[in-house]
């Protein structure tokens, strides 16, 4: 009998794996065996729980005890106390679950990080063993595929997806049902394909990786449903080789699905046949763009081509192809199981359902969050994210990565959906959400994203290849203190031209980070250009280290630390920095016990 | 996969297992596993409950442990908590009694009165 009275779920996502969760699993097995508990307690390696900042994470059921930042040394105590004697080791729990005074611990669903979340795409992440198809089936997995194949026509499936209001989670937000309909209508007599975009090239984003690591069967099931709806019999998942855990779990999942007859011929005893293969990408950002992605799957260099024709008509090998993002697919089985109306009730008027965000940057609870569309940025940053660390102030949040823009503090109460973000000059993008505090220079951030696009531009069209490079040169000029006021106008003009003339989405959106920082933080650009000053104290060339004579006690620590002897003065009277000699290393500022030195 | 029935069978087999990981629903069987409980033989009782629940594939039933509840002379003590029902406390439990509690109380809803603390207080 393989029934276990307790389950220990250990996060095997990329985050927790790099903070040592495999060692935790090994130690658990050893300790459980040593106490004769290995038959009655099961250890399960799951996907991501979301609270990556506190990894490695381990949850013990049935109690639901949430241990965070677990160390291998802690395991013996947890096994002996909690698993043997039933005494939860409160000291090692995630502190927010330990309610003050009472012996009862708080349910995970009541802690700030999870309270406002709603898990649809991430439903099974951190709950099931992604390497065991039976666990997925145990949580109603493949029921939607069964339902579709045995009781619905392809047209009915498309109607449900349309009525759900689901829009593409890969960035552009195109209505998924419409895309399915166009692909279904295209002539597939020479073949038709479905494909999954798991390239996830947006720096800082890891939603898709987490879904694939935590719930790979959901994607396989959804792609089979999509294939049935549009009339395809072969699918491809395009995933970057930089995601080794996700790739390996997908491989296992595909093999298991074949073994159980959920991929292959005559699925559920019907005429429907479908199989799936993985194609590895080398990690170029442009390969996430749909036409480049398909060119890459075909075995050519990943370069985009003009649209139309759209993939729905001419995709892989010139045949109609349906391409959707990982998270888009992750919603499908549940829409089929729970109905379009259920999904349609979640979210805002034009954006239905939930969105997963990879929350990063200057935020306490770095991790993965899934919230209903229409949740405000403030709720995500302050409540779920736990606010900005070290008592700093929120300055801006960047969504949409290198194609998106920043949202300033005045707009913190914006209800996030596709259209609201667009209207303020940012975009949903794939779901990266980077929080910036007062120490962030917005010109520097714009430069960072532009460096990324310049690097990642495939070079096929000149607006992107040359234009973004020229924009970057102007930004470099500004941040090094050589900017002129006309440079700001030039930036804007170039930006508009590139937006209009670049071949693909990469170039068309590359100027967005510059345009949106110009829109909300123009004063910072002006400070750099006119006053030769970086208000956040980031741009090195513009830094000027000075000692505040009011605060300086004349202790001479700075002078002793300065590696180039640029600081002088007499003990007990204010010291001064020689600007000519100063190399702006910042050591003096760091060491001053009286905070008398500033660089702004 | 040849049919929905086949999928259903796999689901039923696994539902129970995965169901353990959803919080706060269903019936809880709580075995006292402090030193006093273990000394009085709580371990085989816990194992017996686990096996019975597993064998019968009882979804929504979990087997938990707890520490000492302060009535050490009645150990092994087992509490059964079903949603909407009053807590039932069984005392001096054995693996055989555990099997009967699962069959009569958990499955059929009839409390095994003779094992409860109420019936054993005077002893
Ligand atoms: C430069 C560039 C990079 C992109 N990267 C991705 C990506 O990593 N993942 C993704 O799903 N879509 C990406 N897209 C969007 C895809 O082209 C496409 O719109 C999307 O995969 C369609 O799926 P959806 O309708 O489900 O969103 C990218 C687009 C551009 C222009």
**ipTM associated with this complex:** 0.85
In a domain, residue B68? The reply is: yes
Where residue A370 falls (left for φ over 0; alpha for ψ -120 to 50; beta otherwise) is: beta
Fold of A442-530: de novo design (two linked rop proteins) (1.20.1440)
Question: Exposed e or buried b for every residue in A374-394, given b needs 16+ CB within 10 A?
Answer: bbbbbbbbbbbbbbbeeeeeb
**Run means of pLDDT, 10 residues per run, chain A, 600 residues:** 82 94 96 92 93 92 90 95 88 83 70 91 94 95 98 98 97 95 96 97 92 97 98 98 96 98 97 98 96 97 95 97 98 98 97 96 94 97 95 95 94 96 91 95 97 96 97 97 96 97 96 97 97 92 91 94 94 93 92 92
Considering the four listed CATH numbers 2.60.40.10, 3.30.1050.10, 3.40.630.30, 3.30.70.20, the one that applies to the domain covering A543-598 is 3.30.70.20
**Range of lowest pLDDT (A379-383, A411-415, B82-86, B104-108):** B82-86
Q: What is the DSSP letter of A379?
A: I
Domain A6-115 has what CATH class?
A: alpha beta
Q: What is the mean pLDDT of residues B98-120?
A: 91
Closest CA to B111 of B120, B99, B102, B123: B102
CATH of the domain at B68: 3.40.30.10
For A102-135, the DSSP string reads -SSBPPGGGSHHHHT---STTTTTTTS-TT-HHH
Domain count, chain B: 1
What pLDDT, on a 0 to 100 scale, did the predictor assign at position A1?
A: 41
A contact test, residue of B2, B14, B37 with most A CBs within 10 A? B14
Give the total residue count for chain A.
Answer: 600
pLDDT at A100: 60
Average pLDDT, chain B: 86
Q: What is the pTM of this model?
A: 0.91
List the single residue in A2, A109, A137 with the smallest CB-CB distance to B11: A137
| Second-level CATH architecture of A354-437 | Roll (3.10)
A74, A97 Cβ separation under 8 angstroms? no
Which residue out of A161, A226, A290 has the highest number of ligand 1 atoms within 8 Å of its CB and is therefore the one to mutate?
A290
Residue B55's domain spans which residues?
A: 22-120
Q: Do the beta carbons of residue A136 and residue A142 sit within 8 Å?
A: yes
Does residue B60 fall inside a structural domain?
Answer: yes
A232: left (phi over 0), alpha (psi -120 to 50) or beta: beta
The domain A133-343: what is its CATH number? Answer: 3.40.50.11540
Q: How many CB atoms lie within 10 A of CB A487?
A: 18
**B39 CB within 8 Å of a chain A CB:** no
CA neighbor of A292 nearest in space, from A23, A48, A507, A596: A507
Please answer yes or no on whether A4 and B55 come within 8 Å at the CB atom.
no
Which residue's CA is minimally distant from atom 4 of ligand 1?
A288
Give A494's Cβ-side CA count (13 Å radius). 24
Contacts of A108 in chain B (CB under 8 A): 23
Tell me the percentage of chain B whose pLDDT exceeds 70: 94
- For ligand 1, say whether the CB of A199 is within 6 Å of any of its atoms: yes
d(CA A537, CA A543): 6
Q: Which residue has the tokens 């430069």?
A: A447
The answer to whether residue B4 is domain-embedded is: no
Q: Does residue B6 sit within a domain?
A: no
Ligand 1 pocket, residue A170 CB under 6 Å:
yes
pLDDT of residue B122: 55
Round to whole Å and give the CA distance between A432 and B45: 51
Q: Decide which of B63 and B70 is more confident.
A: B63
Q: How far is the CA of A440 from the centre of ligand 1 (A)?
A: 28
Q: Is residue B35 a part of any domain in this protein?
A: yes
Kind of pairing between the strands at A193-198 and A321-325: parallel
Q: Could you tell me if residue B5 is inside a domain?
A: no
pLDDT of A2: 64
């Amino acid at each position: 009998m393989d029934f276990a009275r307790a389950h220990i779920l250990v996060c095997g996502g990329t985050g927790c794996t790099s903070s040592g969760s495999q060692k935790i699993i090994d130690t658990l097995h050893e300790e459980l065996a040593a106490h004769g508990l290995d038959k009655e307690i099961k250890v399960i390696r799951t996907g991501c729980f979301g609270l990556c900042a506190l990894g490695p994470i381990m949850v013990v059921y049935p109690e639901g005890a949430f241990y965070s930042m677990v160390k291998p040394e802690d395991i013996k105590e947890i096994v002996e106390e909690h698993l043997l004697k039933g005494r939860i080791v409160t000291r090692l729990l995630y502190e927010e679950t330990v309610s003050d005074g009472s012996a009862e611990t708080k349910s995970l669903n009541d802690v700030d990080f999870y309270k406002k979340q709603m898990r649809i795409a991430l439903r099974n992440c951190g709950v099931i063993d992604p390497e065991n198809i039976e666990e997925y089936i145990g949580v109603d997995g493949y029921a939607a595929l069964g339902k579709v194949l045995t009781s619905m026509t392809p047209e009915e499936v498309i109607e449900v997806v349309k009525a759900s209001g689901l829009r593409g989670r890969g960035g552009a937000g195109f209505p998924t049902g419409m895309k399915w309909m166009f692909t279904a209508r295209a002539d597939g007599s020479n073949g038709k394909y479905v494909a999954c975009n798991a390239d996830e090239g947006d720096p800082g984003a890891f939603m898709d990786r987490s879904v694939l690591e935590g719930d790979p069967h959901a994607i396989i099931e959804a792609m089979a449903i999509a294939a049935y709806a549009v009339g395809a019999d072969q699918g491809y998942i395009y995933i970057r080789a930089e995601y080794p855990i996700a790739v390996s779990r997908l491989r296992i999942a595909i093999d298991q699905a074949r073994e159980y007859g959920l991929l292959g011929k005559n699925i559920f005893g019907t005429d429907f046949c479908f199989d799936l293969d993985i194609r590895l990408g080398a990690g170029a950002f442009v390969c996430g763009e749909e036409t480049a992605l398909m060119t890459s799957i075909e075995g050519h260099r990943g370069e985009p081509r003009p649209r139309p024709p759209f993939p729905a008509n001419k995709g892989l090998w010139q045949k109609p192809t349906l391409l959707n993002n990982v998270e888009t697919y992750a919603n499908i089985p549940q829409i089929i199981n729970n109905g379009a109306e259920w999904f349609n009730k979640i979210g805002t008027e034009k954006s239905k359902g939930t969105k997963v965000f990879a929350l990063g940057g200057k935020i306490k609870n770095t991790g993965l969050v899934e919230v209903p569309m229409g949740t405000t940025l403030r709720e995500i940053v302050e409540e779920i994210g736990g606010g900005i660390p070290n008592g700093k102030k929120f300055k801006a949040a960047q969504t949409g990565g290198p194609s998106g823009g920043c949202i300033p503090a005045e707009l913190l109460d914006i209800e996030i959906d596709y259209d609201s973000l667009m209207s303020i000059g940012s975009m949903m993008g794939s779901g990266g959400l980077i929080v910036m505090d007062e120490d962030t220079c917005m010109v520097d951030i714009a430069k960072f994203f532009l460096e990324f696009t310049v690097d990642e531009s495939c070079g096929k069209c000149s607006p992107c290849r040359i234009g973004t490079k020229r924009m970057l040169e102007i930004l470099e000029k500004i941040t090094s203190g050589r900017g002129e006021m006309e440079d700001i106008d030039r930036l804007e003009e170039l930006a508009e031209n590139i937006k209009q003339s670049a071949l693909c989405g990469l170039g068309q959106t590359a100027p967005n980070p510059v345009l949106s920082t110009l829109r909300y933080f123009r004063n910072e650009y002006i400070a750099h250009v006119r006053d030769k000053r970086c208000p956040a104290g980031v741009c090195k060339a513009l830094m000027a280290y000075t000692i505040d004579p009011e605060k300086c006690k004349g202790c001479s620590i700075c002078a002793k630390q300065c590696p180039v002897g640029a600081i002088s003065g007499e003990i007990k009277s204010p010291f001064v920095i020689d600007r000519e000699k100063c190399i702006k290393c910042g050591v003096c500022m760091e060491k001053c016990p009286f905070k008398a030195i500033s660089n702004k | 996969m040849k049919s929905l029935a086949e999928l259903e069978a796999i689901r039923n087999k696994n539902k129970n297992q995965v169901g353990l990981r959803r919080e706060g629903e269903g019936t809880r069987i709580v075995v006292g596993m402090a030193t006093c409980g273990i000394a009085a033989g709580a371990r085989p009782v816990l194992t017996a409950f686990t096996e019975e629940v597993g064998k019968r594939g009882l979804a929504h039933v979990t087997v938990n442990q707890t520490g000492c509840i302060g009535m050490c002379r009645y150990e092994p003590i087992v509490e059964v908590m079903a949603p909407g029902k009053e807590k039932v406390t069984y005392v001096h439990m054995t693996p055989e009694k555990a099997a009967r509690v699962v069959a009569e109380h958990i499955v059929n809803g009839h409390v095994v009165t003779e094992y409860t603390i109420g019936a054993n207080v005077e002893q």
